[in-house]
Amino acid sequence: MPSWESSYTGGFTLCLDGLLLRANTKRAVIAWESWFAKNPYAEWYLNSIRIKGSPSHAHHVETYGESYSYDDFVPLFKEAIERWDANKWAELFQRVGARYVVLTTKHHDGFLLWPSEHPNPKKEGYFTKRDLVGELADAVRARGMRMGLYYSGGLDWTFDERAIRDVVDLLDTMPQGADYVQYVNQHWRELINRYEPAVVWNDIGYPAAANLNELFADYYNRIPDGVVNDRFMQIDLATSSGGKLLRSRVVRALVSHMLRWALSHLDVLPASGHCDFRTPEYSSFRSIAKQKWEATRGIGYSFGYNRNEGPESFISVSDLVRSFVDIVSKNGNLLLNVGPMADGTIPDLQRERLLGLGQWLDVNGEAIFGTRPWLRAEGGTTDDTPVRFTQKGDTVYAILLDRLRHGRVSIDLPREEGDVTVHLLGHERPLHWQQDGKNLTVTLPESLPESPAYALRIAPGVED
């Protein structure tokens, strides 16, 4: 949600909150199975109810009955979505300060949010007759924002109905048949040619037999300044020579263990093939990354709307602002997911977080939009307040990630010779400062508004 110029991400990562590596490979497999059975992602509901004994399966049977299928939700959704207003979404996103919007056009359940000329061959009518993609694209662009499109190229549970219980299942259930290769290629080309997305955001991978170089060339020829994410990895376990080997529980456990180690120790998994930006999920980089990246996360623990999420599940406005600043200081963007209800309603708790971020940006956006990382991302004050740095031209921004409580603040910021002017964003008059060795000491205004973070502009020259 920061500026197009600010920052960008990659690699498929999972939210492994609280899971730790273990030397015992059997335990590693059990941990994965526990995660998928208790997956907090509501958009994985179809897979979760396929795992008998999972909380979602028990809830589904108790609430809807054993015979109620996932497909029975389709007519209810089609009816509800008629009340959706694309302009209200676009107005909210503009108010928050978003520079681009990415819409899910098809997730792993295979349901399409646009009237495609290439409907799902496995399920009749498995799409919206209303062009949700086109309506939102028009509304977003009318307000000066760019439009990107997400598409699940690696998973489609209408082509492979096996339940995913661990990470090897996830890789093994990627459809690889010629019919699926043609299907996803037709969809991406249709989305590109019809809606001209500024961002192509694929997920989970892509069939191994597809010609990605040709797809990317067609995209860049159509949208020269477009960008492609890093989740187009082409992995075929189902038909490769290693496929049979991965049926072994021991080998599966070893693969699971190695992936858990990588997810615990790497900022993001290595990219395979071409990409313009990286995409860690519920994660971040520890230092400034040379390549653009984009941190992606939900406001809560789920991307889709989860009615069980309450206030305790959502990131606070303060933590959201501070996380956002940290990401931008390290050359990243934040793709903050909104999980609406079926009729397009964005729940109040999610709106509150969005608007809180927007209010902070109204005052401090200058330190975010159009900036680049400085010489280093992180610093601190003498009283241990974390600081993040950005820059724009010769101007440096020091963003203090806490409520300021003192009349003076000293930042670890060695300065070259020459005069500078220091401003607190949102405060008109320049501030008094002095250099105390390696610390820049700034006298703050007598009264400060409540804020999750405060941005100081340090610009060369003396203000008249």
* C-alpha–C-alpha distance, residues 425 and 430, integer Å: 10
- The answer on 146 and 52 residing in a single domain is yes
**Tens digits of residue pLDDT in 161-197:** 999 998 888 888 999 999 999 999 999 999 999 999 9
Altogether, the residues listed in the chain come to a count of: 464
- The answer on 389 and 341 residing in a single domain is no
Specify if 2 maps to a domain: no
Helices 178-195 and 212-222 cross at an angle (nearest 10°) of 10
- The answer on 405 and 291 residing in a single domain is no
- The answer on 326 and 424 residing in a single domain is no
From the number of C-beta atoms within 10 Å of its C-beta (0-12, 13-18, 19+), residue 381 rates as buried
Least confident window among 104-113, 155-164, 338-347, 441-450 = 441-450
- The answer on 289 and 184 residing in a single domain is yes
Query: For residue 46, what are the CA distances in angstroms to 35, 39, 52, 107, 189?
Result: 15, 11, 12, 11, 27
Give me the sign of the Cα torsion angle 390, 4, 290, 331: positive
- The answer on 312 and 418 residing in a single domain is no
Q: How many CB atoms lie within 10 A of CB 36?
A: 21
- The answer on 394 and 358 residing in a single domain is no
Specify if 8 maps to a domain: no
Chain center to CA of 248: 34
| E strand segments, 110-193 | 146-152
Range of the domain at 183: 25-367
Specify if 4 maps to a domain: no
pLDDT band at 121 (very low <50, low <70, confident <90, very high): very high
Of 367, 382, 401, the residue at which a domain comes to its end is 367
- The answer on 418 and 358 residing in a single domain is no
- DSSP label at residue 222: H
pTM listed for this prediction: 0.89
- The answer on 314 and 232 residing in a single domain is yes
For the record, the structure tokens of 459 come out as 């610009």
Of 318, 346, 367, the residue at which a domain comes to its end is 367
pLDDT band at 244 (very low <50, low <70, confident <90, very high): low
Question: What's the structural domain count of the chain?
Answer: 2
Specify if 12 maps to a domain: no
Q: What is the CATH number for 400?
A: 2.60.40.1180
Question: What is the residue type of 52?
Answer: K
Specify if 16 maps to a domain: no
Average pLDDT, the chain: 88
From the number of C-beta atoms within 10 Å of its C-beta (0-12, 13-18, 19+), residue 425 rates as middle
Specify if 224 maps to a domain: yes
Report pLDDT for 32: 60
Specify if 13 maps to a domain: no
Report pLDDT for 268: 67
Specify if 10 maps to a domain: no
- The answer on 79 and 165 residing in a single domain is yes
- The answer on 393 and 344 residing in a single domain is no
Q: What is the CATH number for 216?
A: 3.20.20.80
**In the predicted structure, residue 240 carries a pLDDT above the cut 70:** no
**In the predicted structure, residue 317 carries a pLDDT above the cut 70:** yes
Of 367, 402, 422, the residue at which a domain comes to its end is 367
Exposure string for 153-175, b = 16+ CB within 10 A, e = fewer: bbbbbbbbeebbbbbbbbbbbbb
- The answer on 187 and 166 residing in a single domain is yes
